[in-house]
Amino acid sequence: MSNPATISTNVAVDAVKDDLQLSTERGPRPKPFFTTNRIILYSILVVACLYYLFPLYVMIVTSFKTMPEIRFGNIFAPPVEFTGEAWAKAWASACTGLTCQGLSPGFWNSVKILIPSVIVSTSVAAVNGYALVNWRFKGSEIFFSILIFGSFIPYQVMIYPLVIITRELNIFGSIWAVILVHMVFGMPILTLLFRNYFASLPVELFKAARVDGAGFWRIFFEIMLPMSLPIIVVALILQVTGIWNDFLFGVVFAGTQNYPMTVQLNNIVNSAQGSPEYNVNMAATILTGLVPLVIYFISGRLFVRGIAAGAVKG
Amino acid sequence: MQTSVSIRDLSLNFGHVKVLEHLNLDIKDGEFLVLLGPSGCGKSTLLNCIAGLLDLSDGEIHISGKNVTWKEPKDRGIGMVFQSYALYPQMSVERNLSFGLRVAGMKKEEVDKRIARAAEMLQIEPLLKRKPANLSGGQRQRVAIGRALVRDVDVFLFDEPLSNLDAKLRADLRVEIKRLHHRLKNTMIYVTHDQVEAMTLADRIAIMKGGVIQQLDNPHAIYNKPVNLFVAGFIGSPSMNFIDGTLAGRVVKADGIDVPVDRYDFAPETGNFSGDIVLGIRPEHVMVGEAAASQPVQFESELEIIEPMGSDTIGWTSFAGQTFKFRCDSEVPLEEGQKLRLGFDPARASMFDAQSSERI
């Protein structure tokens, strides 16, 4: 059937060839760069960019200035005398309350809090999510609803009960109290994250593994976990930024010796003694914000899409 | 012959929805049984019950003479092949095949031996080091079959294994599954909604609808003697012509036309039926033109539409005021609007009680 159709089309083309040569539209449609829409779009983007980057610029510039220069005004000008003294002071010798060791003890406290909380909460949540999707038990949906409900309750409501609980556990005022609290509060949202991720994996993979004789842990470690890299990265980013930036739990539960970096930053910035050292404050703030920033840049590269590709039809 | 899989009184409910109800099925050792039906008829659910991936609400399942109703999937002596292949994406083909054996703690030499045998059978030796993502659909499904093969099971379960493949690959792999069955002589249970797969592969077909097996028989009987209107309409492409009429004595009256059905093979228990019936004639049993002259029932009709399929042609006409399709060789000269002489033999037709839709 297709042959006669093709022939007749060719005849038609011959007949109108002259008409066709007049036309100028051919090939891909041209895409001019400077159109009104684009100019508007990019202007808005540039303005938004400046809006966010300008404060950061001021912070960086100020942190490399000396105090006399700052007092002189001109907060937008680059430093005349470039110095890293403020950074050194913020790290090692600024006064945070009674001690004057800078932010460094706080940094290590934060690290000590961060590592166990992130590891434990992520792994427990991964197992939770996996069990909730693949090993449904009686009441698993209700269990999940209660867990999710937990993530909508404001933290402040639960602080007093938690203080009592940690006191009874004899860990109040120690690093373990903060770790415990972070683990508990990380659980709902991480479980939701893992549950939804595992639910998106083809259930037939799980069935196939069961027919192959694998049990709960074997399927988890050998089938599910190797496919979970993208969601683990997401969970890590969430937890690391969340726990690192936490102020409330640190100040309540940690005890003075174990204050995390955020609490010590606050103590430096809000210290009532002497005149405020803006350059040290700026340097200390940037130092504190550095960890989540680094995590973001490293792990962003690890976002591997399509790990599960090839498991089902491609 | 010994039964390989026996299903006794199986019921399955999801909440208040009854998916399967009091289902009984016996599958002979070495038989190729196809569960065929439209989507949502419970055929995949039944297969999952046999595999042990779903808990029953009631009933028993026996495999190879053992009651496996409460057994784990791995202890049932079954291997399963899924529609989406379900290959473990992070493992090479070789490790995909060996996963079940490694879980069972089998010795390395034995594992290697079995993989070599399965790979040879399915011609996937060159693929053993690759990851599933680097395989084509057909290759993936071979590996999935291989994964069931290496476990040396009594019963193979196939859950629409060819549905994700394109038409040509589907035909190729279909033959290969049949060849595999001839070679292994295992019991195979195969779920599909594709009637061609069912007809070509099956020793027996179980046609399901609404969780109930409508007819369980060999492909020949299913095609020629469908037990009810559903089976008659489901099997065959283009589907069977259904003509509403009334049976009195040995004559069907339809829209003033008398169709003598003395040659029809009535079921013994319904031999004296009279009343409203549906007469079913397969389009491929209708003769056209001169060939119609030899047929017991003949009539003339105007040709409305022609559908050329290449190998043959389907014509749409009417009979007794109702749509009537026929299928003829593509060399027969046909023209839309032309008057045609058509004929058929009631001996090859089917008749159904219009009320109960059962065969008479």
Tell me, what's the pLDDT at A304? 45
Tell me, what's the pLDDT at A298? 77
Tell me, what's the pLDDT at A22? 64
Tell me, what's the pLDDT at A245? 93
Q: Do the chains contact at A313 and B164, CB–CB below 8 Å?
A: yes
Tell me, what's the pLDDT at A19? 63
- A300-304, B173-177, B290-294 — most confident range: B173-177
Please tell me the distance from the alpha carbon of residue B233 to that of residue B256, in angstroms, as a whole number.
25
In one letter, which amino acid is A93?
A: S
| B-chain residues near A208 (CB < 8 A) | 80, 82, 86-88, 144, 147
Please tell me the distance from the alpha carbon of residue B246 to that of residue B253, in angstroms, as a whole number.
5
Model confidence at B200, pLDDT cuts 50, 70, 90, reads: very high
The per-residue DSSP string of A288-312 comes to HHHHHHHHHHHHHHH----TTTTTS
Report pLDDT digits (tens) over B81-105: 999 989 999 999 999 999 999 999 9
Residue B19 predicted with pLDDT over 50 = yes
Model confidence at A39, pLDDT cuts 50, 70, 90, reads: very high
Q: Do the chains contact at B89 and A307, CB–CB below 8 Å?
A: yes
Cis amide bond preceding A276, omega within 30: no
Please name the member of A210, A310, A313 whose beta carbon is closest to the beta carbon of B89: A310
Residue B79 in contact with residue B151, Cβ under 8 Å?
yes
What average pLDDT does this structure show over B169-195? 93
Q: What is the CA radius of gyration of chain A?
A: 29
Question: For a pLDDT cut of 90, what percent of chain B falls above it?
Answer: 72
In one letter, which amino acid is A6?
A: T
| Residue with more model confidence, A4 or B91 | B91
β-strands B58-63, B66-67: how paired?
antiparallel
Q: Is B189 on the interface with A (CB under 8 A)?
A: no
CB under 8 Å to B192, separation ≥6 — which residues?
Answer: B34, B35, B36, B158, B160, B162, B163, B198
Residue A16 predicted with pLDDT over 60 = no
Question: In terms of Cα–Cα distance, which of B203, B200, B205, B154 is closest to B32?
Answer: B203
Please tell me the distance from the alpha carbon of residue A78 to that of residue A90, in angstroms, as a whole number.
20
Which pairs count as long-range contacts for A165-174, CB under 8 Å and 24+ apart, including other chains?
Answer: A166/A253, A172/A253, A172/A255, A173/A253, A173/A254, A173/A255, A173/A258, A174/A254, A174/A255, A174/A258
Tell me, what's the pLDDT at A101? 86
What average pLDDT does this structure show over B132-151? 92
Residue A86 in contact with residue A240, Cβ under 8 Å?
no
Please name the member of B51, B89, B140 whose beta carbon is closest to the beta carbon of A211: B51
Q: Name beta bridge partners: B77.
A: none
Please tell me the distance from the alpha carbon of residue A22 to that of residue A18, in angstroms, as a whole number.
7
For B40, other C-beta atoms within 10 Å of its C-beta total 13
Q: Which two tokens stand for residue A18?
A: 């002259």
Please name the member of A207, A212, A227 whose beta carbon is closest to the beta carbon of B103: A212
What average pLDDT does this structure show over A7-29? 63
In one letter, which amino acid is B327?
A: R
Tell me, what's the pLDDT at B176? 92
pTM, two decimal places = 0.82
Question: In terms of Cα–Cα distance, which of B312, B313, B298 is closest to B344?
Answer: B298
Chain A nearest CA to B120, separation (Å)? 21
| B-chain residues near A212 (CB < 8 A) | 74, 99-100, 103, 147, 151
- Location of each CATH 1.10.3720.10 domain in chain A: 104-310
Q: Do the chains contact at A204 and B99, CB–CB below 8 Å?
A: no
For A45, other C-beta atoms within 10 Å of its C-beta total 10
| Residue with more model confidence, A309 or B44 | B44
Q: Residues, chain B, total?
A: 360
Question: In terms of Cα–Cα distance, which of B112, B120, B147, B115 is closest to B132?
Answer: B147
Question: For a pLDDT cut of 70, what percent of chain A falls above it?
Answer: 87
In one letter, which amino acid is A164?
A: I
Q: Name beta bridge partners: B313.
A: B308, B328
Q: Mean pLDDT in chain B?
A: 91
Please tell me the distance from the alpha carbon of residue B105 to that of residue B98, in angstroms, as a whole number.
10
Cα angle, residue A134 at apex, residues A130 and A137 outer, rounded to 5° = 105
Q: Do the chains contact at B133 and A314, CB–CB below 8 Å?
A: yes
Q: Is B133 on the interface with A (CB under 8 A)?
A: yes
Tell me, what's the pLDDT at A302? 60
Q: Residues, chain A, total?
A: 314
Give the DSSP H/E element, type plus range, for residue A78.
none
Q: Do the chains contact at B86 and A204, CB–CB below 8 Å?
A: yes
Model confidence at A102, pLDDT cuts 50, 70, 90, reads: confident
What average pLDDT does this structure show over B347-357? 91
Question: In terms of Cα–Cα distance, which of B265, B315, B53 is closest to B159?
Answer: B53
**Complex ipTM value:** 0.87
Q: Which of residues 34-63 of B touch A (CB under 8 A)?
A: 48, 51-53
Q: Which two tokens stand for residue B279?
A: 């007469």
| A-chain residues near B52 (CB < 8 A) | 210
Please tell me the distance from the alpha carbon of residue B164 to that of residue B81, in angstroms, as a whole number.
13
Taken in order B96, B101, B107, B111, the sign of the CA dihedral is: negative
Residue A68 predicted with pLDDT over 80 = yes
Report pLDDT digits (tens) over A118-159: 999 999 999 999 999 999 888 888 988 988 887 788 888 889
| B-chain residues near A312 (CB < 8 A) | 84-86
Chosen for mutation from B55, B72, B85 (greatest number of chain A CBs closer than 10 Å) is: B85
Chain B nearest CA to A116, separation (Å)? 28
Residue B153 in contact with residue B145, Cβ under 8 Å?
no
Report pLDDT digits (tens) over A239-285: 998 999 999 999 999 988 899 999 999 988 887 677 788 889 999 99
Please tell me the distance from the alpha carbon of residue A261 to that of residue A289, in angstroms, as a whole number.
10
Model confidence at A296, pLDDT cuts 50, 70, 90, reads: confident
For residue A30, the 8-state DSSP code is P
CB under 8 Å to A113, separation ≥6 — which residues?
Answer: A175, A178, A179, A182, A243, A250, A254, A258, A260
Q: Mean pLDDT in chain A?
A: 85
Tell me, what's the pLDDT at A95? 81
Q: Which two tokens stand for residue A190?
A: 């991480």
CB under 8 Å to A177, separation ≥6 — which residues?
Answer: A166, A169, A171, A253, A254
CATH number 3.40.50.10810 is the correct assignment for the domain at A104-310: no
CB under 8 Å to A193, separation ≥6 — which residues?
Answer: A125, A129, A231, A234, A235, A238
Chain A residues with CB-CB distance to B under 8 A?
1, 202, 204-205, 207-214, 218, 222-223, 226-227, 307-314
Nearest CA in chain B to A204: B86
Report pLDDT digits (tens) over A183-242: 988 888 899 889 989 998 999 999 999 999 999 999 999 999 998 888 888 888 889 989
For A128, other C-beta atoms within 10 Å of its C-beta total 21
Report pLDDT digits (tens) over B22-41: 999 999 999 999 999 998 89
β-strands B322-329, B312-319: how paired?
antiparallel
